[in-house]
């Protein structure tokens, strides 16, 4: 089985380091964290960056009052919700921590008794749930069936322990989260089925649709196998409803292709008490043949234990790159967050290297490299990719190489890419900060010249710009005006994202020796001042003619209500969203005292949203004013305790493909990247007594970075001094390159603040 590429020298050093500790950090991962409170994570069997995963699907219906079943209105955004208890199958392609529906498809469901095709009727409540990295299990109460699942990079495996009697295994292509319908399947034999399911229109955007192909094989041949199709009603010439009245039509021993919106396959058995039957499923976004090849490459046998152990070993290898000393509760929160940062982006190439080309229906080949998908860049550019650059630079390198290859294929860097389709979800130009930040951190083994030219194309093109559709007016005025645009389209938010992208492009230009470009894009990045309204102290929507948008309520937009000029927030959420020039923002706000007062007011008036990406850096901004750094230490500690905990609701909102989890990982380690492209980390109080990061010496000169907290008692939470390699750090910031040179970062803590 192919695994994520790790260079030989680092691999030897890593396994030597791993052998020195008996601690299994995977035991501290609780995959149920984030499965409630709109966290949108799943507890299913997941391989690191895996294309396939096996996830309980419990959102089509829920168990209602008086033993009835009712439609779950939340089904369209998440495949699993911990609060629900009515399951209709186990899906094999899934998203984790995203806010819109897609995938959640190719569902298997074991049943007993009478053969039934209606999910509402064959669904079951469940109990005895357990989950760990690469493994999930439960008991289907209706059937007394024990279910266990695991996965590899491109395949899943399920093992069912049946009671005595007639039993079935169903494959349903009608259920799922995708907005697209339709599929095809063929029962190849009494122990095999193949086909595809159509997916696409993520967040209801009209991007292309794609098929996801599969091959499922059973460990035992069924006594009877076949297909079914739901036969919908249709209208006659007079408009009357005629036809099959929404019934399910079975096709016994069917060996031909069957297509439709609601189709499936079934396999029937006479099982003995405790008999186990396994099903393995191969996935591909290229072809059925490749799905079968992936299955042969990664699960040639039906060896459930070996598959589970292999997944856990891979998780242990990656997660143990960071070792922490502290309470079990804190370790669980930390390692689960780190686990969530290693799900997306996920690989999309098959075992032979084939993958779908970006933005077109063609096939490319990676020739041994890893190719990734699911780039939620509006979210992840802020902290997830800087975290990967620090802890897993070899993986971040592969991800940036993928981004550049996508641009070479489609003409544009990705924005919110899903399965080689550009969904155009959210605003801004988030690929540029990721590329610049990665290069500046010292990860340079990608085609940076091509990346730079594609980033410039996005910044300068004023017609038919797929990344910056508002770029014409932005280039002319220095901001995106509210005139002529959908007034709910987020013109201030869009402008602020463009400023950050321009600033990052300026930093990359400088590093590459393009001085004129550096000056141009640096100047453009400072145009945020044109949106500063001195009367309200806000970054305010503006018209073409320079007039302010009125009437204006800075509070409008809380709780995701529509607000002119802002995306997913209000003016307060975006008030300090100039992370590339905080010192300049302090000046135009009226100085340090006013800045601190207004920043404090943001939290006191409940205008800070921990689940809203643009403002999640705000707790660290107190570090920019000497003498006020204690506020960042206090606020970050407070937010961790308030919002992150070892429960299903233990993430404060949508994890956004690992972004909130990355915030937590950084924050618990005691440092945070205030802005992509800025190599200075803001320093706060670590959550652990000691943290040891094993650095990848193929990228960084240091072997290890050790972070220690020196306390006199457990009440010591405020920093009195900071040393790095026994030299005093004279600010509450430290450079990335200093940290990756290796050594010891020591925080001396005391009880009193300030």
DSSP 521-546: HHHHHGGGGGGEETTTTEE--B-TTS
Pairing of strands 224-235, 241-252: antiparallel
> For residues 77 and 99, is the Cβ–Cβ distance under 8 A?
yes
Q: Is residue 313 part of a domain?
A: yes
Q: Is the pLDDT of residue 62 over 50?
A: no
CA–CA separation, 62 vs 71, rounded Å? Answer: 6
Q: At what angle do helices 515-525 and 491-511 cross, to 10 degrees?
A: 160
If asked whether residues 27 and 143 sit together in one domain, one would say yes
Band the pLDDT of 247: cuts 50, 70, 90.
Answer: confident
Q: Is the pLDDT of residue 23 over 80?
A: no
Q: Is residue 719 part of a domain?
A: yes
Among 273, 288, 317, residue at a domain's last position? 317
List Cα–Cα distances, 594 to 286, 575, 586, 598, in angstroms: 57, 13, 8, 6
CA–CA separation, 88 vs 125, rounded Å? Answer: 9
Q: Is residue 337 part of a domain?
A: no
Task: Quote the pLDDT of residue 87.
Answer: 95
Q: Which of 170-184, 337-351, 484-498 shows the lowest per-residue confidence on average (mean pLDDT)?
A: 484-498
If asked whether residues 636 and 534 sit together in one domain, one would say yes
**CATH of residue 696:** 3.30.2080.10
If asked whether residues 467 and 533 sit together in one domain, one would say yes
If asked whether residues 290 and 379 sit together in one domain, one would say no
If asked whether residues 311 and 406 sit together in one domain, one would say no
- Total number of domains in the chain: 2
Q: Could you give the count of Cα atoms lying within 13 Å of 526 in the half-sphere of its Cβ?
A: 10
Band the pLDDT of 249: cuts 50, 70, 90.
Answer: confident
Task: Of 454, 468, 463, give the one whose Cα is nearest residue 505.
Answer: 454
Average pLDDT over residues 72-99: 83
Non-local (6+) Cβ contacts of 476 within 8 A are: none
Q: What is the dihedral of CA 428, 434, 440, 446, to 10 degrees?
A: -130
> For residues 241 and 181, is the Cβ–Cβ distance under 8 A?
no
The parent domain of residue 97 ranges over 8-317
Give the tens place of pLDDT for each residue, 427-437.
999 999 999 99
If asked whether residues 604 and 671 sit together in one domain, one would say yes
Task: Of 230, 339, 212, give the one whose Cα is nearest residue 283.
Answer: 212
Secondary structure element (H or E) that encloses residue 396, with its range:
helix 393-410
If asked whether residues 258 and 405 sit together in one domain, one would say no
Among 317, 340, 362, residue at a domain's last position? 317
CA–CA separation, 294 vs 159, rounded Å? Answer: 19
Give the tens place of pLDDT for each residue, 637-676.
999 999 999 999 999 999 999 999 999 999 999 999 999 9
> For residues 689 and 743, is the Cβ–Cβ distance under 8 A?
no
Task: Quote the pLDDT of residue 207.
Answer: 65
Q: Could you give the count of Cα atoms lying within 13 Å of 594 in the half-sphere of its Cβ?
A: 13
CA–CA separation, 381 vs 433, rounded Å? Answer: 6
Q: Is the pLDDT of residue 574 over 70?
A: yes
If asked whether residues 313 and 418 sit together in one domain, one would say no
If asked whether residues 732 and 600 sit together in one domain, one would say yes
CA–CA separation, 749 vs 87, rounded Å? Answer: 49
Q: Could you give the count of Cα atoms lying within 13 Å of 554 in the half-sphere of its Cβ?
A: 18
Q: Is residue 339 part of a domain?
A: no
If asked whether residues 732 and 602 sit together in one domain, one would say yes
If asked whether residues 414 and 550 sit together in one domain, one would say yes
Q: How many helices (H) and strands (E) does the chain have?
A: 19, 38
Q: Is residue 332 part of a domain?
A: no
Q: Is residue 364 part of a domain?
A: no
The SS3 assignment for 677 reads coil
Among 273, 302, 317, residue at a domain's last position? 317
If asked whether residues 300 and 447 sit together in one domain, one would say no
Band the pLDDT of 235: cuts 50, 70, 90.
Answer: low
Q: Is residue 341 part of a domain?
A: no
Q: Is residue 680 part of a domain?
A: yes
**CATH of residue 159:** 2.70.98.10
């Amino acid at each position: 089985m192919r695994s994520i590429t790790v260079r030989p020298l680092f691999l030897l050093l890593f396994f030597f380091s791993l052998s020195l500790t008996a601690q299994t950090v995977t035991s501290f991962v609780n995959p149920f964290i984030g499965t409630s409170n709109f966290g949108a994570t799943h507890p299913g069997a997941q391989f690191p960056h895996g294309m396939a995963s096996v996830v309980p699907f419990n959102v089509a219906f829920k168990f209602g009052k008086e033993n009835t079943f009712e439609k779950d209105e939340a089904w369209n955004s998440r495949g699993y919700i911990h609060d629900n208890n009515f399951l209709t199958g186990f899906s094999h392609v899934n998203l984790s921590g995203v806010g819109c529906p897609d995938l959640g498809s190719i569902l298997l469901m074991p049943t007993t008794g009478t053969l039934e095709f209606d999910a509402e009727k064959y669904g079951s409540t469940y109990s005895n749930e357990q989950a760990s990295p690469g493994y999930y299990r439960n008991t289907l109460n209706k059937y007394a069936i024990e279910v266990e699942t695991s996965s590899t990079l491109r395949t899943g495996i399920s093992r069912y322990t049946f009671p005595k009697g007639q039993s079935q295994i169903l494959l349903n292509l009608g259920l799922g989260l995708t907005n697209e319908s339709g599929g095809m399947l063929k029962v190849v034999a009494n122990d095999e089925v193949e086909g595809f399911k159509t997916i696409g229109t993520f967040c209801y955007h009209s991007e292309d649709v794609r098929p996801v192909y599969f091959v499922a094989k059973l460990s035992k041949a069924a006594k009877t196998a076949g297909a079914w199709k739901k036969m919908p009603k249709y209208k006659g010439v007079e408009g009357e409803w005629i036809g099959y009245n929404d019934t399910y039509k079975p096709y016994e021993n069917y060996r031909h292709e069957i297509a439709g919106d609601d189709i499936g396959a079934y396999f029937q058995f006479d099982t003995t008490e405790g008999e186990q039957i396994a099903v393995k499923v191969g996935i591909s976004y290229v072809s059925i043949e490749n799905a079968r090849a992936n299955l042969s490459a990664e699960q040639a046998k039906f060896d459930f234990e070996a598959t589970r152990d292999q997944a856990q070993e891979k998780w242990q290898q990656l997660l143990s790159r960071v070792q922490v000393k502290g309470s079990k509760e804190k370790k669980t929160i930390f390692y689960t967050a780190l686990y969530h940062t290693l799900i997306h982006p996920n690989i999309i190439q098959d075992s032979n290297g084939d993958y779908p080309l970006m933005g077109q229906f063609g096939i490319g080949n990676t020739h041994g490299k890893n190719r990734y998908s699911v780039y939620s860049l509006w979210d992840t550019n802020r902290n997830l990719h800087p975290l990967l650059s620090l802890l897993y630079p070899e993986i971040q390198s592969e991800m940036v190489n993928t981004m550049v290859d996508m641009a070479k294929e489609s003409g544009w860097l990705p924005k919110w890419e899903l399965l080689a389709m550009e969904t155009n979800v959210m605003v801004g130009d988030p690929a540029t900060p990721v590329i610049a930040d990665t290069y500046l951190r010292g990860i340079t083994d990608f085609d940076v010249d091509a990346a730079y030219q594609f980033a410039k194309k996005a910044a300068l093109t004023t017609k038919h710009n797929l990344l910056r559709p508002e770029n014409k007016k932005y280039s002319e005025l220095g901001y995106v005006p509210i005139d002529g645009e959908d007034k709910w389209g987020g013109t201030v938010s869009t402008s602020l994202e463009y400023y950050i992208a321009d600033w990052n492009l300026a930093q990359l230009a400088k590093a590459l020796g393009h001085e004129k470009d550096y000056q141009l894009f640096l100047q453009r990045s400072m145009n945020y001042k044109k949106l500063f309204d001195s009367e309200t102290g806000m970054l305010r929507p503006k018209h073409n003619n320079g007039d302010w948008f009125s009437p204006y309520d800075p509070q409008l937009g809380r709780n995701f209500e529509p607000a002119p000029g802002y995306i997913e927030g209000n003016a307060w959420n975006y008030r300090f969203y100039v992370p590339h020039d905080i010192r300049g923002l302090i000046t135009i706000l009226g100085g340090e005292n006013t800045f601190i007062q207004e920043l404090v007011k943001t939290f006191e008036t409940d205008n800070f949203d921990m689940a809203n990406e643009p403002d999640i850096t705000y707790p660290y901004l107190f570090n920019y004013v000497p003498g006020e750094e204690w506020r960042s230490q206090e606020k970050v500690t407070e937010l961790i305790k308030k919002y992150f905990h070892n429960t299903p609701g233990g993430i404060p909102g949508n994890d956004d493909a690992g972004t909130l989890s990355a915030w937590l990982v950084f924050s618990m380690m005691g440092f945070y990247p205030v802005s992509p492209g800025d190599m200075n980390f803001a320093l706060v109080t670590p959550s652990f007594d000691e943290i040891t990061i094993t650095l990848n010496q193929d990228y960084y000169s240091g072997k290890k970075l050790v972070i220690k907290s020196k306390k006199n008692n457990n009440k010591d939470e405020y920093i009195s001094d900071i040393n790095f390699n026994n030299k005093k750090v004279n600010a509450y910031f430290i450079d990335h390159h200093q940290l990756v040179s290796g050594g010891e970062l020591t925080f001396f803590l005391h009880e009193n603040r300030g």
